[in-house]
Amino acid sequence: MEQHPLSVDGKPAPKKKKPTFLWVLSGYLLRSSFWIVLATLIVLVLWPYVVITVPSGYVGVLWRRFNGFDAYCLCFAGRGTALNPRQIRDEGLHMIWPWNKLFLYNLRLQSEKMTVNAISKDGVSVIAQLNVRFQLRHNNVGVLHKFIGPDYLKSVIEPEIGSQAREVISAYTAQEVYVSRELIQDKIRQQVQKSLGDHLNQLVQLDAMEEMDPFHYEDYLKDSIQVLDTLVLSIELPAPIVEAINRQTQQFYMIQETRFRVEREIEESKRKQVEAQGIAAFQQTVSQGISESYLRWRGIEATNALANSPNAKIVIIGGGKDGLPIILGNTDFPAASVQTSGFPPAKPPSETASSPPPAALPAPSSTASDMTSPTSR
């Protein structure tokens, strides 16, 4: 026989309903919401420290707070900076413990401009603007991070380049610095690379070595920074020094011009001497082959050609040497009196018309006995 608790009014108490699934789920979520919110906040806060992305061209150097097993290289790793090249994190997504840190280093080609004040060999102040291009080595980044740190540019590279640039410039005069840019930048690069290797090895602390052999450790630190070149962008000298150098250069080229002119005149003199010798040899050769009869024949041919030309002229037959005729110019103008052997002087037409003709003409010369009287054309 069932027993029911009695109420005050003597009626049995109502039966309890069975809990449904939704009611159970809502109660569970209500009780666990606090823990869900707490876990979400923890994930959001620790996400940047646990999940780290290494961008393109970078690598990550891990620093551990405690000793432990490294799943990345499948090896046991101690606390501190991971010096083993196998423990360097490459590009991509990486997960670390929130109490560890991952430092990013740029492995791409880097360029940095800097200005150096130096004194030349002759005591002139020189301001040189340099552009340094360098690159970090992949396997040496861990050693570089442990003993130098991310601020390696200001703590190592700039002081070394400034010191070596001043030393190189001090070995040249102001004029040599002004015109020997390529030689200076090559020497700066060589000395900077050598100086970086020597000085970085002096910073090595062998007792702090944890995972690598000390001999290899020195090699890793020495080659951690590779200086590719040091370009000299500009060199500034005091204005009076620059003007003096320009004037000196101008005078040098003027001397060269004068020297070239003298050489040209010497060559021209030699050319004229050779030409004169050639003309003298030609005249000597021609004079041996030309006779008096040949010259007379050439004169007759020239006279015949001139007499047949349409120009106005006067030809006096038998008046020249060796019986060659004499040719006068234009007959439109009164010609001067010509005294020839066997002929009277010429008179103007007016005088010839008024005056009586001469009594008798003198006898012609023997050379013109077979020729006709003067003819006017």
The pLDDT tens digits for 360-376 are 434 443 333 343 333 33
| pLDDT score of 293 more than 80 | no
Q: Please give the structure tokens belonging to residue 175.
A: 């004029």
Phi then psi dihedrals of residue 67, to 5 deg: -75, 155
Q: Quick one: tokens of 228?
A: 């590719």
Q: Is the pLDDT confidence value at 339 over 50?
A: no
Per-residue model confidence (pLDDT) at position 135: 93
- CATH superfamily for domain 109-237: Band 7 domain (3.30.479.30)
pLDDT (tens digit per residue) in 182-205: 889 889 988 888 888 777 766 655
First to last CA, the chain: 185
Task: Look at residue 315 in the predicted model and tell me its pLDDT.
Answer: 61
pLDDT tens per residue, range 63-72: 988 887 776 7
Check: CB of residue 320 under 8 Å from CB of residue 326: yes
Judge if pTM exceeds 0.85.
no
- Least confidently predicted of 98-102, 120-124, 217-221: 217-221
> What is 196-241 written as a DSSP string?
HHHHHHHT--GGG--SS-HHHHHHHHHTSEEEEEEEEEEEE--HHH
Q: What is the pLDDT of residue 328?
A: 55
Question: In 3D, which of 31, 165, 284 has the Cα closest to residue 157?
Answer: 165
Structure tokens at 244: 């003096």
Cβ proximity of 162 and 105 under 8 Å: no
What does the radius of gyration of the chain's CA atoms come to, in whole angstroms? 58
Per-position b or e across 192-221, b if 16+ CB within 10 A of its CB: bbebbbeebeeebeeeebeebeeeebbbbb
